[in-house]
């Protein structure tokens, strides 16, 4: 069923650029560090790094509001009253991956499905306390079944160890810190020869570790005065949560984060669901991680693979865009509301993600049992 992976020698320049603790098993051009200094930082601080925040006066706060569930609900209610057609039109553009299940699997004919799953908001429901974002046992069973049939990776903004603590499945690939920390299955993979090696595969931002530590400390110190603010160390990036911060303090919090980042021109600021994300300015994201993993599995520039990526956040858009660019694969956005996205399909919530995963497993079981004539 699976395609055998091919280990290609690492080009000398890539091997040199790789951090000492990453096994040079898989070739990949090392990410280019963005031009150091003001230009890059200015762009991210002013433009809001892809989310448009900051381009207008008060842009960050506006953007923070847009990611608030209360505001999203109010906006959704308004939109429902005013323009029910908008949602219907969005669903035509991004139909449910459940109702179009046959179409999704038909695309996999003669191809190896590889499954990529975001964690928060995809496998676990969004909750106030990031340390309590547990995944249900039923979801874990579903993911375990998927991994028995298809190579499966978790791609998360979280620190890799933390997301592993939640998922607890040793047979998966894990790409933590928005793809900047990639590791293969603890026991090696049953799916490909290339992935039999265990351990850390790639850490393209390892030189940023001391800087991230410093920024983490500064952010903890600086934001202490804002009740509800929570700073999370995600190893190669830092999250500053404002889900539990009074809206009146959002502007002050955004200013604090920006003032800390002034001293770190090699870090950029982006925004997720009620969270600021501080990340190195290297050109590496969930999309690059997806491509790296496909390559590691032996599917570089290959037509007989169907990557299926499921995610709910802005950072998942980088992966959806890669699928669009390759003209290959299935991007599924998890969202109850119409959102601008490069995904092709949608699912409303983690419960639907589970249903989709279980159907995929069932379909694979039946297709193996089906006589081939």
Ligand X SMILES: O=P(O)(O)OC[C@H]1O[C@H](O[C@H]2O[C@H](CO)[C@@H](O)[C@H](O)[C@H]2O)[C@H](O)[C@@H](O)[C@@H]1O
Q: What are the catalytic residues? A: 118
Cα separation of 147 and 151, whole Å?
Answer: 6
Instruction: Decide whether 66 or 302 has the Cβ nearer to ligand X.
Output: 66
Tell me which of 108, 206, 234, 271 binds ligand X, using CB under 6 A.
234
Least CB distance to ligand X at residue 110 (A): 31
Cα separation of 151 and 300, whole Å?
Answer: 15
Quote the DSSP letter at residue 127: -
Half-sphere exposure of 331 (CA within 13 A, CB side): 26
Residue nearest to ligand X (CB): 157
Tell me which of 2, 51, 112, 156 binds ligand X, using CB under 6 A.
156
- Tell whether residue 274 is a contact of ligand X (CB under 6 A): yes
DSSP strands (E only) in 317-363: 330-334, 345-347
Least CB distance to ligand X at residue 124 (A): 6
Contacts (Cβ under 8 Å, ≥6 apart) of 250: 61, 64, 65, 242
Residues 299, 163, 51: CA angle, nearest 5 degrees: 75
- Tell whether residue 236 is a contact of ligand X (CB under 6 A): no
Q: Which stretch binds ligand X (CB under 6 A): 141-149, 270-278, 326-334, 347-355?
A: 270-278
- Tell whether residue 350 is a contact of ligand X (CB under 6 A): no
Tell me which of 127, 170, 186, 351 binds ligand X, using CB under 6 A.
127
Binding-site string for ligand X from residue 106 to residue 125, where x marks contact by CB under 6 A and - marks none: ------------xxxx----
- Tell whether residue 157 is a contact of ligand X (CB under 6 A): yes
Instruction: Decide whether 105 or 163 has the Cβ nearer to ligand X.
Output: 163
C-alpha distances out from residue 22 to 26, 27, 38, 85, 311, Å: 10, 12, 30, 50, 27
Cα separation of 9 and 366, whole Å?
Answer: 38
Q: Which residues bind ligand X (CB under 6 A)?
A: 118-121, 126-128, 130, 133, 156-158, 232, 234, 239, 241, 243, 272-275, 277, 313, 315
């Amino acid at each position: 069923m699976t395609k055998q992976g091919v280990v290609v020698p690492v080009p000398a320049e890539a091997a040199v650029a790789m951090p000492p603790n990453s096994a040079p098993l898989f070739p990949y051009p090392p990410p280019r560090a963005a031009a150091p200094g003001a230009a890059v930082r200015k762009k991210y601080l002013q433009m809001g790094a892809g989310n448009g925040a900051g381009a207008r006066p008060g842009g960050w706060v506006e953007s923070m509001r847009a990611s608030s569930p209360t505001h999203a609900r109010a906006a959704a209610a308004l939109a429902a009253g005013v323009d029910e057609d908008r949602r219907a039109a969005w669903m035509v553009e991004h139909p449910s991956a459940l109702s179009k299940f046959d179409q999704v699997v038909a695309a996999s004919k003669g191809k190896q499905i590889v499954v990529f799953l975001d964690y928060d908001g995809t496998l676990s429901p969004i909750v106030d306390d990031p340390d309590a974002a547990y995944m249900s046992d039923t979801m874990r069973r579903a993911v375990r079944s998927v991994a028995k049939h298809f190579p499966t990776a978790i791609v998360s903004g979280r620190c890799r160890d933390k997301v592993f603590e939640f998922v607890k499945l040793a047979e998966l690939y894990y790409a933590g810190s928005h793809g900047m920390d990639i590791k293969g299955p603890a026991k090696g993979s049953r799916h490909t020869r290339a992935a039999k090696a265990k351990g850390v595969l790639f850490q393209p931002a390892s030189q940023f570790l001391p800087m991230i530590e410093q920024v983490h400390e500064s952010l903890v110190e600086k934001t202490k005065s804002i009740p509800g603010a929570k700073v999370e160390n995600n190893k190669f990036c830092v999250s500053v949560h404002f889900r539990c911060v009074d809206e009146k303090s959002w502007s002050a919090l955004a200013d604090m984060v920006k003032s800390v980042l002034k001293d770190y021109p090699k870090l950029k600021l982006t925004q997720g669901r009620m969270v600021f994300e501080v990340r190195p300015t290297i050109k590496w994201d969930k999309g690059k991680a997806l491509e790296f993993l496909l390559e590691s599995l032996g599917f570089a520039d290959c037509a007989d693979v169907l990557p299926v990526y499921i995610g709910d956040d802005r950072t998942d858009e980088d992966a959806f865009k890669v699928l669009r660019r390759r003209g290959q694969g299935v991007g599924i956005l998890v969202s109850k509301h119409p959102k601008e996205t490069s995904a092709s399909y949608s699912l409303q919530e983690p419960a639907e993600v589970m249903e989709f995963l279980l159907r995929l497993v069932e379909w694979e079981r039946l297709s193996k049992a089906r006589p081939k004539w």
